Structure 1
Amino acid sequence: MLIEERFSDLSKIFLKVWSIESSSKWSSQNPANGQCGVTALVVNDLFGGEILKTKTPEGWHYYNKIDGIRCDFTESQFSEIPHYQDIPSNREEAFSDTNDKQYSYLKTQVLEKLNR
């Protein structure tokens, strides 16, 4: 399976499993809101690559770079796509945007959906 197809499938999975359990900022009107750090961590677990960040008016926004491709599964939370700065980040910084419970929940849900 091509990486683009896997990313498309993963995007659909995130939309199904993001919830108040994975971010306290979640809402049904904006399911990606507040999901960037926890999502970047799960994507990093699955595909490796780099975690990057960009400064937004709301604070740091985390996303991934895999095989030279920027992968931002949570950009839909913004009314305008951010101007990506692609600043190198790491798991520790991305984890500052979430907690163990949210991370464990999201990772478990994604793995269950991927294994079906």
Structure 2
Amino acid sequence: MGKTREKEFEYELTHQDRIRERIHTHPAPDADWTYALQLECLFGDKWHAVIRYDDAHGRPHIDELHPDGRKNKRWLPYKGRHQSISEARSALMNNFERQRERYQKELQEYEQSPGN
């Protein structure tokens, strides 16, 4: 049996915001595959993962990521992978500014908290 293959794409939204899309294909007889789409934002000189849509754990969901390492998981209805990817891409493109602002505010609070 062959190795899992990954295809990766980047969509630049601005010079400080991008969407990273990964498709993992599994060389099994049923050719199963999984996806992840993630908004990444540049703060200072470091790229941060801000929000991710994927179907790990066997079901589509959103992971809202936080600077302190926490994740808020929200399960999504299953609509088929192609539809889920299309909706995730659209949601990221339409809401990246709001997500960037949320994360930036949390990052500033996190960096000002004692011990960081």
Instruction: Decide which structure has greater strand share.
Output: 2
Instruction: Decide which structure has greater helix share.
Output: 1
Q: TM-score, normalised by structure 1?
A: 0.30
Q: TM-score, normalised by structure 2?
A: 0.30
Larger radius of gyration: 2
